Copies of this chain bind each other. A is one copy, B any other.
Amino acid sequence: MKPNITKSQLYEHVSRIGKALSSPKRLELIELLAQGEKTVETLAAQARIDMRLASAHLRALREARLVETRRAGKFINYRLSGEDVGRLWVNLREVAEEHLVELRIALAQMTAAPDALSSESRASLLAKARSGDVLVIDVRPAAEYEAGHLPFARSMPLAELEKRLADLPADKEIVAYCRGPFCLMSDEAVRLLRQRGYTAHKISDGVSEWLASGLPIERQPPVPDTDGEQLRDIHSGERP
């Protein structure tokens, strides 16, 4: 028996992960899931695709074991199957940004240049947030904030920002973040804040990038809503 016969199977298995990462829609779904557990409907809405198409892509991700499911009543919640999946997404995006000039150009065209975040600037931001020198706001939907957020960050969803402006100190420097470098919500928030006279800027980090750089995130203790969802594993079998 030749060893190479089975050796190529090793690469085939790894390529299953690669295949899962080879579709733009699936990458978008992974980034959304990196913000926390979501239902198929939510994912479809946020990625602006048909729910049936989202379901098909999620199936592909599930078969590559990059996501897991959990039924909660009528809903099925998807989540990344580990922090390493988020790290892989960040790693993939970083390599793309490093080597694909077209991507850098497209990014520069659509988002404001964020503060580059080296490990030192991350540490100093953390220190300034702790001391209260700056106010870090998380402009993602509240559910995503609750699933995990940067330390000392306050939830201030973009959709509610305008009517909650009174909650923000007028004299303090504000730092906004959202889902990551590809997300435009922090840009939008900064635009609005500056227009109203605030000193605001954004950072490109999201929770995944923060985690990938080795820093900790804060999590609300999960509040069991109403009488608690029944948790059951589904999709335990492989495809026939």
Contacts and interface: CB of A to CB of B under 8 A. Distances in A.
Contact of A95 (B17, B27, B103): B17
A55 B88 CA distance: 28
Contacts of A15: 21-24, 26-27
B82 A88 contact: no
Nearest to A238: B102
A195 interface: no
Is the interface on chain A under 10, 10 to 19, 20 to 34, or 35 or more residues? 35 or more
B13 A28 contact: no
A176 to B, nearest CB: 16
A39 B98 CA distance: 25
A96 to B, nearest CB: 4
A119 interface: no
Given A15-B23, A106-B6, A107-B10, A85 B96 contact: no
B18 A14 contact: no
Contacts of A84: 94-95, 98
A6 B26 CA distance: 17
A35 B86 CA distance: 27
B92 A17 contact: yes
Interface of A: 3-4, 6-28, 48, 64-66, 81-82, 84-85, 87-88, 91-96, 98-100, 102-103, 106-107, 109-110, 182, 184
7 residue pairs, one from A and one from B, having the closest CB atoms: A18-B21, A11-B24, A65-B99, A13-B103, A18-B22, A22-B22, A19-B22
28 contacts: A3-B110, A3-B184, A6-B106, A6-B110, A7-B182, A8-B24, A9-B106, A10-B182, A11-B25, A11-B27, A11-B182, A13-B103, A13-B106, A15-B22, A15-B23, A15-B24, A15-B26, A17-B92, A18-B20, A18-B21, A19-B22, A64-B99, A64-B100, A65-B100, A81-B99, A85-B95, A88-B92, A88-B95
